[in-house]
Amino acid sequence: LPSFDGNYNDWIRFRDTFLSLIHNNEQLEDVQKFHYLQSSLKGPAARIVQSIGISKSNYRTAWDAVKARYENSAALKRHHVHTLLDLPAMQKQSPITIREILDDASNHLHALKALGLGIETWDPLIVPILSRKLDPVSVREWERRNAPSTTESPTLRQFTAFLEERAHYLENITSLSPVGAVKPELVTVPGSRRLPRVAAHVASACEACPVCQAAHAIAQCSKFKDASLEGRVKIVQDIRACYNCLQTGHRVQNCTRNHCRLCGKKHHSLLHRENSYKTKEAVGTCDGESQNTVACIAKDASSTPNQVVLSTAVVFIEDREGRKRECRALLDLGSQANLITTECCDRLGLDRSRANARIAGIAAINSKVEGKVDIEIHSRIRGFGARVACLIMSNITEELPNIPIQRSAISIPPNIKLADTRFHKRGRIDLLIGAELFWRLLCVGQHSVNRHLIWQKTQLGWVLGGRLDSGIRNESQVGKCHVVTNGQLHEQLERFWQVEEGITNGDAIDECESHFVMNVKRNPDGRYTVRIPFNECQSRL
C-alpha cells in the first residue's frame, strides 16, 4: 500500500488504491481495514485517526474523517492549479529539469481532469505558462520553431513533443566525453604549495553566440565588442545574461566568476563605465563573496580562511489559518532562545505579543527584540512536531551558506531524506532553532563525507555540518585586510569620513561659483549688480 502524509498531490492516488485493495475488499474485517489505514497514514494525516481507538465500529468513523479532510474538490483544484503555476523555472539547460517540468505538469493536469475539469481547451493558456519555465536558449528554440505558424496557437501535444526532443538533444550533447587527457604534472616551487598543472583536449558542444550566431562566446564576439557601451548593456539585457560573466542561466548576485579587471566591481570588463563610482585611496570596501565586511588595503597576498557549514533544515510552520508553510531553519546549539524573523511572522500572519527581553551575542553586543510568538513546528520527513516560543527579530543572520558549495563534490548516501535539499545554495534564514529543541531533534545515525564534514540524522531529516575542504568550496582571493565584525561601528566610521572630507563639489556647484565670481559686482553707489544665470545648453523653443 502507498503511504499518505497529507500531501494533496498524493491523495487521489492513495484514495483509489486504498478503496480498491482494502475498503472494498469483502474478505477483510473492518478492524483489519482500520489497521491497514493506520499503517498507511503518516505525518499530519496520521494525527486525524490518532485519537480514535482501533475497533471494528470505529473504522467507518476514521475513514470518513480522513475523507472529510482531504476529499475537498475545491481545495484539490486550487492546490493543483497553484502548484502548476509555481513550478520552478530552469536556471540552465538540463535534460533532467526539462523532464521534471514535463512530468510535474502532466501529473497536475491529469489530476485536474480526474476532478472533472475540461482541460482539453486549456492549451492556449497552459503552453505559454510552461514555456516561461524554460531556460532562455530553449525559449528561443521554441519560438523559432513556432514562428511560421503565427495564426494558430501551438497545442500542448506539440509543446510536449518539443520538450521530449529537447531533452534527447541535451542528453546527446552532454554525453560527449574527453577524447584525450594528460595526467596532472605536479610542479613544485620552493616556498610554495604544490599545484597540479593539467593539460587536456576536451570535445564539447559550444553554444552559438546570441549576437552573430557564430561558434564562440559572446565575450569573444567582435560585433559585440565594437558596439557602444549602451549597446552592449542593451544586448545583455535582451538575452537576460549575467552582467558579471555574460552567460545565461543565473543572476549576477549568484555569479562566482571573476569581477571587472578595471575596477573590481561585480560586472564584466566590457560593461565597465568610466567614472561611474568614486573610490578612496587608502581604504575601500571589498565587494566579494566573503561572509564579513572587509576593508581592503592591498591585494598582494592570498588567504583562504576556513569555512564551516552550518546545519539548515526546511520545516513546516502552521500559519494563522492552520496551513503548513515551508520555512528554512538554522540549527544552533549555542543559542538559548529560538528566533524568527519579522518577515516570516508577517508572511504567516502570526499573532505576536510584547517581550521584555534582550539578545546578547558575541562581546555582549545587544540586539533589538520586536516581540515574541508561539509557533507549531512540524517535520517534512517524519511525524515529529513541537510547539515552541520564539523571539522576533528583524534579521537573524545573512543568507546561508556563506559561500557556494559544489554539491557534486559531496557524497550523499542513498536512501536518506535531506532536511534541506538546497543546502548548497544560498538562501534566507526564517527561523533559528536553539538548544531548547536541538537535543530532541538528534537521532542515531551519522555518515562521514570526509574528516571534517558529516551527515547527521535528525527528526527533520539528514543535515550537513562541519568544515569545508578546498575541493568542495569555491575559494576567493582575499588581500591584506581589516575585518570589521560590528556593522554599526563601521557605518559610524563611514559617516565620520564623510564629515571630515566634506561634500564633493559637482559640476553644477563649480559652474555656480564661477558665475558668481565673474558676474557679481558692486557699483559706486554700493549696490550689487548680478547677471541672471540662464542655461546656455537649453535648446530653443
Domains of the chain: 8-71 (no CATH), 76-147+155-174 (no CATH), 218-271 (no CATH), 308-467 (2.40.70.10)
Distance (Å) of CA 345 to CA 238, 330, 370, 429: 37, 16, 11, 13
Closest CA to 317 of 390, 422, 371, 424: 390
Position 475 scores a pLDDT of 47
Closest CA to 55 of 29, 74, 76: 29
Position 473 scores a pLDDT of 56
Q: What phi, psi does 469 have (nearest 5°)?
A: -85, 165
Taking 70 as the pLDDT cut, the residues of the chain under it are 73, 148-151, 174-207, 274-306, 362-364, 470-508, 536-541
Q: How many CA atoms lie within 13 A of 405 on its CB side?
A: 25
Position 328 scores a pLDDT of 93
Q: 249 is written with which cell numbers? A: 542561466
Query: 195 forms bridges with which residues in the sheet?
Result: 187
Closest CA to 326 of 334, 314, 340: 314
Q: Determine if the pTM surpasses 0.85.
A: no
Place of cell 520527513: 381
Position 429 scores a pLDDT of 92
Cα 14 from Cα 12, distance rounded (Å): 5
Distance (Å) of CA 264 to CA 256, 275, 286, 300, 481: 13, 13, 8, 14, 15
Closest CA to 235 of 131, 258, 226, 251: 226
Position 329 scores a pLDDT of 93
Categorise residue 408: left if φ over 0, alpha if ψ from -120 to 50, beta otherwise.
Answer: alpha
Position 344 scores a pLDDT of 92
Position 279 scores a pLDDT of 37
Position 474 scores a pLDDT of 54
Position 181 scores a pLDDT of 40
Position 287 scores a pLDDT of 41
Identify residue 290 by its one-letter amino acid code: S
Pair 394, 368: CB distance under 8 Å: yes
Q: 491 is written with which cell numbers? A: 557605518
R_g (Cα) of the chain, nearest Å: 31
pLDDT tens for 125-183 read 888 888 888 888 888 888 887 776 666 778 888 888 888 888 888 887 765 544 444 44
Closest CA to 424 of 437, 411, 415: 411
Query: 196 forms bridges with which residues in the sheet?
Result: 186
Place of cell 544665470: 533
Q: What phi, psi does 164 have (nearest 5°)?
A: -65, -45
Position 493 scores a pLDDT of 63
301-328 core/surface letters (b: 16 or more CB in 10 A; e: else): eeeeeebebbbbbbbbbbbeeeebeebb
Pair 332, 434: CB distance under 8 Å: yes
